[in-house]
Amino acid sequence: MSITQVILEAVSDFVFEQYGEDAPLQALTLQKTRKEFSGDFTLVVFPFVKITKVSPEATAKLIGDALIERVDELQSYNVIKGFLNLSLHPNFWIDYLARNSGNARFGFRPKGEGAPVVVEYSSPNTNKPLHLGHVRNNLLGYSVAKILEASGRRVYKVNLVNDRGIHICKSMLAWIKYGKGRTPYTTGMKGDKLVGEYYVKFETELKIQVGELMLAGYTDEEIARKDAPLMKEAQELLRKWEDGDAQTLAIWCAMNGWVYEGFNQTYRKLGVEFDKTYYESETYLLGKELVMEGLKKGVFEKRSDNSVWVTLNNDPLDEKLLLRSDGTSVYITQDLGTAQLRFDDFYPGEMIYVVGNEQNYHFEVLQKVLQKLRKPYADAVYHLSYGMVELPEGKMKSREGTVVDADDLFEEMVDTARRTTEELGKVQDFSEEEKAQLYNILGMGALKYFILKVDPKKNMLFNPSESIDFNGNTGPFIQYTYARISSILRMAQSGKPLQAKVQLAPEKLNLLERNLLRTIFDFPGVVLDAANAHSPAQIANYAYDLCKEYNQFYHEHSVLNEPDPQISHFRVKLSEMVSTVVKNAMSLLGIDVPERM
């Protein structure tokens, strides 16, 4: 049982024994004491005033006196209005370090036996390369999966590739009409980038045709787009695909193959992976079956043009198209099929969809449709809605080719890390191979941290130059702190092995050491809170706060040159524990930390 649980149970017992009233543990608030006050934990006593019938200050003193008698680890308390600040004995913190020293998995829970969680992220379209928006999606999904695993959940990381549909047919048609047989192998281009060129080419040619129709008398641009010959050809290509036309399928397979090779290269650079990949081309048929099931049950409606709809007016979400009049499916059709497949594959307790907030309505509808079908997994659907990534110059548009390509971004980040590191003169004794590895660790770490430190729900402005800074709330600042500690540990171990035993006279524990130990103590709880909130930002900002505290401690107190050998050894072990927590926290963000810089 943790010390916080011990304290809360002692409070609950005291209230019941003294006043005959229950104080449910979940209603009690015990928080970390703010730095401007003395104490380790703070109990909010206002809820007890009605029971004690005395002032908040008097109530706090009553509870404080009772806790001193009942909890051996408590040394003292002080009262600030309705807040009871509790201080633990220094021995508690020294023993806490001794118990956890050497635990490489500190903060991580063992895997439990409950229902697993399925986390879907990435979900790219095979008509373009991955861009900055996909980067946030992949980093967020992968990190959430890692955090859930660290909290003890069984997690399956999955990808849903949108490999069919009208957008794919646009790239295919443009390649057929204008590609002249070009392939990644004849051009030397990365496959996803080659296919992406033809997605942009389709839009360029379509704009020309729309302009001609407008000059010919059309007054509505959207109608002109639908009636443009190129768009009609793309719709016909989609019908051929769904009818299994051999030539169409051959081109589709070839172009998707080029894209998958490109995607895999980008995923490796980004450091993300999946346990299973689903393909829309394999799930939409099952989705169609579920739509037919809904028709038989009378929960869906077939219109006079043979299109199938679901009415959700009572929810109130209006109505939603499930199948077009020509029998072709829409996005929600394949999502119905995918949800069923995932339930059959994993029997999850939660299915997390990491998808941008522009799809909020879509996932509300998906859940409502599954509920109408009475699927047992309907309530397991959870949309992890995140904000868009914008650039200083505005929003990105894939079909206009104004996106930040993920591979180009990675290259820029690594190059910026190289320039910054060399300007600071940190790599004079590194080999060329070691330099290249360090620049990659710093560049990718800067990118990941800059994106993940922002609350997922918020839109964010990405500026690469701000992300690589060895000061401030950045990945390189945390990485440099870890490397500094690693250097201290190497020097401490030179000449003789570092003793495992941790001991220190309680009067020698200073305030900054105590603060560090309190922050280390918080890490397991931060992991659980981040898992419950699906928020890597909580881990990122915790790591930054811990590194800030360590650097303040290091600035004011010597580790290796401390004349008292007991204090010096204690500080080495404390530094070692900080490095473990930093490494574990950063690993949950998918970020590597360098052993030296």
What is the pLDDT tens value at each position of the chain, 597 positions in all?
789 999 999 999 999 999 888 876 667 888 999 988 999 999 999 988 989 999 999 999 999 999 999 999 999 999 998 899 999 999 999 999 999 999 999 999 999 889 999 999 999 999 999 998 899 999 999 999 999 999 999 999 999 999 988 999 999 999 999 999 999 999 999 999 999 999 999 999 999 999 999 999 999 999 999 999 999 999 999 999 989 999 999 999 999 999 999 999 999 999 999 999 999 999 989 999 999 999 999 999 999 999 999 998 776 678 899 998 888 788 899 999 999 999 999 999 999 999 999 999 999 999 999 999 999 999 999 999 999 887 765 444 444 445 788 999 899 899 989 988 888 777 778 899 999 999 999 999 999 999 999 999 999 888 777 887 788 899 999 999 999 999 999 999 886 666 678 889 999 999 999 999 999 999 999 999 999 999 999 999 999 999 999 999 999 999 999 999 999 999 999 999 999 999 999 999 999 999 998
Instruction: Indicate the residue type of 94.
Output: I
Instruction: Indicate the residue type of 249.
Output: L
Return the pLDDT at 393: 58
Q: At 272, phi and psi to the nearest 5?
A: -115, 160
Return the pLDDT at 497: 63
Instruction: Report long-range pairs for 304-310 (Cβ below 8 Å, ≥24 apart).
Output: 310/365, 310/368, 310/369, 310/372
Dihedral (C-alpha) 394, 396, 401, 406: value to the nearest 10 degrees?
A: 120
What is the C-alpha separation between 339 and 379, in angstroms, rounded?
Answer: 11
How is 306-350 classified by DSSP, letter by letter?
A: S-EEEE-TTTT--EEEEE-TTS-B-HHHHHHHHHHHHHHHH--SE
CATH class given for the domain over 3-88: alpha beta
- Give the 3-state secondary structure of residue 430: coil
What is the C-alpha separation between 546 and 586, in angstroms, rounded?
Answer: 12
- Residue 350 C-alpha from the chain's centroid: 16
Return the pLDDT at 316: 66
CATH assignment of 407-588, among 1.10.730.10, 3.30.365.10, 3.30.56.10, 3.40.50.150 = 1.10.730.10
Say what the pTM is.
0.92
Q: Domain locations in the chain? A: 3-88, 121-400, 407-588
3-state helix, strand, coil in the chain (%, to 5): 60, 10, 30
What is the C-alpha separation between 503 and 569, in angstroms, rounded?
Answer: 8
Return the ∠ at Cα 487 (arms to 482 and 493), rounded to 5°: 125
- Give the 3-state secondary structure of residue 161: strand
Domain 121-400 has CATH 3.50.50.60: no
Return the pLDDT at 356: 94
Tokens of 423: 């300007």
Which residue, 130, 145, 153, 162, is CA-closest to 452?
145
Return the pLDDT at 427: 78
